[in-house]
Copies of this chain bind each other. A is one copy, B any other.
Amino acid sequence: MENEFLYGCAYYPEYMPYERIDEDFALMQKAGMNVVRIAESTWSTLEPKEGEYDFYHIDEVLKRAGKYGLKVIIGTPTYAIPSWLAKLDKNVLVHTKNGDVKYGKRQIFNLLSDTYIFYGGRIIRKLLEHTANHPQVIGFQIDNETKHYDNFGAGIQEAFIRLLKSRYTDIEEFNKDFGLAYWSNSIHSWEDFPDISGTINASLACEFEEFQRDMAVNFLKMQAEIVNEYKKPEQFITHNFDFEWRKFGADIAQDGYSYGIQDGIHHLRASDALTHVGTDIYHPTGFQLTGAEIAFCGDEIRSLKNDNYFVLECQSQAFKYWCPFPKQLRLHAFSHIASGADGVMYWNWHSIHQSFETYWKGILSHDLKPSRIYNEISEIGNEIKTLTKEKLCIKKKNRIALLVDTLSLSALKWFPIDKKLSYNDVVRYMYDSLYEENLECDIVFSEYANPNEYEAIICPALYCVSKELTKKLDKFVKNGGILIGSFRSFVADRRVSVYTKTLPAGLTDCFGVHYDEFTHTLNMGAGGKEVKYVAELVTADTAKEIHPYEHIYWSNYSAVTCNEYGSGKAYYIASYLDKAVLKEVLREALKEVYKEQNLPVQTAFPVITRRGVNELNEELNYVFNYSCKPVEVEICVEAEKGYTDAITGKSYVKGDKLRLEDWGVAVLVG
């Protein structure tokens, strides 16, 4: 899309204690930056009173950007509303399951409020009119981290009921479909529909949650339509997708990281509104830096359009848990690139002196002076610039797909595998095991998946599956594919109704197993190690047992099986195995896929490899050392002419040792 790699940061002159744009832009330029992202969240500055507009800060940026070689991404300001808007109409603030939200935070509005939509649309139009023709403006970010905000207001409930009514001409069909007879919840006249926020019917609740996600998708589409009226063809529309935000455990603002798939919107359906996907990725660092979040989130975002993406936000220092060791920032940046990023933008330029995210620190600390962090970011920027985008950035084509699903995520909130194990925990358990074995994968929304594009498919806790999907998966294995299914997959249909078929539903032949019982795991093991959370009591029919359960009564049931089916293989993992045992199973199951990759170094975590093809059509192998100790790895596969490290220029042939410093990076071109 852009010729240059986009390296930059979010910039908020509105939040600065004094004016210093020239000083800041000069520092950015010196740091190899070429882009700033502005305006998002500044509605009350842009429109201080209803109908009064003030583009002062935007103009100040645009006026100077060119001089310092900075492109500009304009964010629509809509995700944080001004207090005058909240005062206009009490319906502007979202009504959630827990009641009305108070004014103060961002992301507290009712996406369906007519008032909100009117004023939101108007400020976008004003902003676009003002900026779209400016030569430095390369694109637009619509809204920010959009979600449904737990909207349970009257408006969304009415819209939901209208949808149901249009689907079911016979209300008894609706009762049947959703199993509403249970506990007298059936409704025999649409007028009797109760407040959904009290429902105990998981099918209805999950359907509504999908509807909430769709309302968020529609909202982004509406914004994109407005932007399309104004933008020039070469300007892009992007959005900053975020992920499940997992807390370390502290009930404070400055805590957490990007963990699993997003609950509040459906990324894939939303990506239709965009020309280019963007994301924010935050992760632990220091001793806890593994690269897993960078890889997971990057793989998910890249798979949306099967194309490269912008990292619109990532951390420089931020709060105390994210203080990076020397050289780690560089490893972050190259890891984003190795996952398919065409741009890396930090959040944000400067640390904010007041309000809420004071310790979500920027590149500059509160003293606004260049420091260690600035210096490291500056070295990275200039290194990337020197190496060039055409050399560094890669297109990726993975052979493995990991299937994810927002409906299964919702359903497992109602029917948790264990109070300590969420849907995303299983997704990350599987993903991280692949990651640590250097098995790269795409992350694909299950019901939209085309299995034929892959050699292997992994299904972690894919609780809700359509018959169509199970048929596709069955055929996929018959035709030679490798399918790996985990416990609590293939259980219910898309109405969150457990199949009346034997489990795994529709795939008993394919997996060659069946079960109807599951238990907790006290004193239970498999492969010599403890299993956890749940154990399905699986009987291997045609499948070969890889690991039986180790247990006084359940040893005649299987923890892991493999079935040869057609010309493929289907593995069933019936319990939460120890990760070492799981990784061994995955390695075995995917060994053909791995072998065919001919990676120059064949290792496992903490040495991580990522592969792709750059614009010069060279195959690149990124090699990362995710540890605080230097490592040496042997070059073990012969490329035609050996490998050259694009960074050092050093050449390697088979048998050579590649040395990586602590948190080191090599880019082997072969």
Contacts and interface: CB of A to CB of B under 8 A. Distances in A.
A367 B182 contact: no
A110 interface: no
A382 interface: no
B184 A77 contact: yes
Given A17-B500, A49-B189, A501-B367, A182 B356 contact: yes
B77 A519 contact: no
Contact of A181 (B14, B104, B182, B492): B14
A183 B105 contact: yes
Contact of A179 (B192, B317, B325, B352): B352
Interface stretch (A26-34, A247-255, A297-305): A247-255
A103 B499 CA distance: 28
Question: How many copies of this chain?
Answer: 3
Nearest to A368: B500
Interface stretch (A79-87, A113-121, A231-239): A79-87
Contacts of A522: 286-288
Given A201-B354, A419-B249, A106 B502 contact: no
A199 B368 CA distance: 26
Contacts of A500: 17-18, 353, 366-368
Contact of A358 (B254, B320, B415): B415
Contact of A518 (B184, B320, B520): B320
A520 to B, nearest CB: 5
A203 interface: yes
Contacts of A197: 102
Nearest to A519: B323
Nearest to A171: B48
Interface residues of A, number: 110
Given A44-B186, A87-B192, A502-B367, A323 B82 contact: no
A366 B287 contact: no
B106 A183 contact: yes
A351 interface: yes
A648 interface: no
Contact of A369 (B199, B203, B516, B552): B516
Interface string A187-207: 111011111011111110000
Given A181-B14, A500-B368, A519-B286, A356 B201 contact: yes
Given A103-B194, A182-B356, A359-B415, A320 B520 contact: yes
Given A183-B80, A183-B106, A553 B326 contact: yes
A203 B358 CA distance: 11
A102 B182 contact: no
Contacts of A189: 49, 84
A351 B184 contact: no
Contacts of A182: 14-15, 41, 352, 354-357
A179 B354 contact: yes
Interface string A58-83: 00000000000000000001001111
A552 B663 CA distance: 13
A631 interface: no
Contacts of A321: 520
12 contacts: A44-B188, A45-B184, A80-B183, A81-B184, A87-B194, A182-B355, A252-B416, A254-B415, A286-B519, A320-B520, A354-B496, A552-B628
Interface of A: 14-15, 17-18, 41-45, 48-49, 52, 77, 80-84, 86-87, 101-106, 178-189, 191-195, 197-203, 249-255, 286-288, 317, 320-321, 323, 325-326, 351-359, 365-369, 371-373, 414-416, 418-419, 492, 495-503, 516-520, 522-523, 534, 537, 552-553, 628
The 3 A-B pairs at the shortest CB distance, nearest first, are namely A179-B354, A102-B198, A104-B198
